Amino acid sequence: MAGAWPECATRSRALTSCPVRQTCREHNSITTRCRTVEEAVKNSDRSAGRLKKLGAALALGLAASLALSACAADDPLAQQAAVGDNKNYIAGDGSVTEYAASDRGEPLAITGTEYGGATVDSADWAGQVTVVNFWYAACAPCREEAPDLVALHDEYASAGAQFYGVNIRDTQSTAEAFERSFEIPYPSLDDQNGGVLLAMTSYVPPQAVPTTLVIDKEGRVSARILGLADKSTLAALIDAALAE
């Protein structure tokens, strides 16, 4: 099409001297064809430009989509969130993270209220190892690990390790029914307002329950189990914190 345009232009210029160009059929015909060709070329250029822009946008969108997919593929919590199976919790994979003493940062600053009404302040935990378990009653892994947590509490009570639960969802009656059912000997904080969880977001992903933390004698997180706590693993983490 681009090759036809010069010929049309040449013939059109040649006819500009036609003495009867107003009625010259050939002149009018060529002029019309030339204008048609010119408009077609312009439309073609505009279409090509739009296609280039569309192609670039699609390529960018595809790249972003692939990047997000890759991130989700590497993140088990993201995978569970994407499933949308209405189980109302995101269970961790039981992975264990230990923090070297030099990487633990400042002591935790947590305050809360037990279901019995007593106030708890993490500043009072200095000098002893503390195990903190985030849970709620309808969480299946929480129910599964409860007997092991009770056994570990009883085993380490005289060794200088204390246990606290943090209930992130239940009313007092529901939480206390759970505690009676599993004979939980240690207190839990009522965290329906999310205050404790918010203070712990560096260690506890929102909705990732259960999560269990081991706090060292200086009030810093020394280890975390994301998901169902294996009894022997948690015991080893408590032993390590007590030995420091």
Identify whether 99 is part of a domain: yes
pTM of the model: 0.64
35 vs 106: CA distance, rounded Å: 78
One domain, residues 189 and 228 = yes
Tens-digit pLDDT profile for residues 71-88: 334 444 444 433 334 334
Identify whether 63 is part of a domain: yes
Please report the beta strands in 88-235, taking only residues with DSSP state E, as ranges in sequence order: 95-98, 111-113, 119-121, 129-135, 161-167, 188-190, 211-215, 221-226
Identify whether 87 is part of a domain: no
Number of other residues whose CB lies within 10 A of the CB of residue 200? 21
One domain, residues 57 and 137 = no
Neighbour-count burial of 189, counting CB atoms closer than 10 A to its CB (0-12 exposed, 13-18 middle, 19+ buried): buried
One domain, residues 107 and 212 = yes
Identify whether 162 is part of a domain: yes
Identify whether 80 is part of a domain: no
Output the average pLDDT for the chain. 76
One domain, residues 146 and 190 = yes
96 vs 121: CA distance, rounded Å: 26
- pLDDT at 90 (0 to 100): 44
One domain, residues 111 and 193 = yes
- pLDDT at 202 (0 to 100): 87
Cα distances (angstroms) measured from residue 55 to each of 59, 66, 67, 116, 163:
6, 16, 18, 63, 58
Tens-digit pLDDT profile for residues 173-199: 999 999 999 999 999 999 999 999 999
Q: Which domain covers residue 14, as residue numbers? A: 4-72
Is the pLDDT at 121 greater than 90? The verdict is yes
Structural domain count of the chain: 2
Give 176's contacts (C-beta < 8 A, 6+ positions apart). 115
One domain, residues 33 and 138 = no
- pLDDT at 114 (0 to 100): 97
Is the pLDDT at 136 greater than 50? The verdict is yes
Structure tokens at 112: 């809360």
Termini Cα distance of the chain: 83
Average pLDDT over residues 143-166: 97
